[in-house]
């Protein structure tokens, strides 16, 4: 019985650690108006995303398969508008909460 309890506690600890670590996704930072249309890292797209976000649109994360996710903590991506990035975080109900973000070369 004691071994079963220890195994259970170990499983819970491992699962909890994986939850805290989050997942890593690669994609582009775009805006809510244009979404996946500007997920190509071109100068034109970067300018459009910056203009739309500056005009009040929310930044969004566009996955490699063009799924658009809202960003819970948009302040994390303001220096990466229009860029290809790698983010670590959690996706829940279509919203990404970012723990870290790293700019990637096009």
What span, in angstroms and rounded, lies between the C-alpha atoms of 18 and 13?
9
Rounded mean pLDDT of the chain? 87
The Cα 6–Cα 70 span in angstroms is: 39
The string of pLDDT tens digits covering residues 4-36 is 544 655 555 555 444 455 899 999 999 999 999
pLDDT at 38 over 90: no
* Domain locations in the chain as residue ranges: 22-103
Q: What is the CATH number of domain 22-103?
A: 2.40.50
CA distance 29 to 46: 9
pLDDT value at position 76? 97
The two three-digit tokens of residue 87, written as one number: 């983010």
């Amino acid at each position: 019985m004691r071994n079963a309890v220890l195994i259970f506690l170990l499983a819970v600890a491992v699962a909890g650690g994986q939850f805290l670590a989050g997942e890593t996704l690669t994609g582009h930072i775009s805006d809510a108006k244009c979404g996946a249309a500007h997920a190509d890292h071109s100068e034109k797209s970067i300018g459009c995303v910056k203009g739309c976000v500056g005009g009040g649109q929310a930044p969004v994360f566009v996955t490699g398969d063009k799924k658009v996710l809202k960003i819970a903590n948009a302040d994390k991506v303001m220096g990466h508008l229009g860029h290809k990035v790698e983010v670590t975080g959690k996706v829940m109900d279509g919203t990404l909460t970012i723990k870290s973000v790293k700019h990637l070369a096009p």
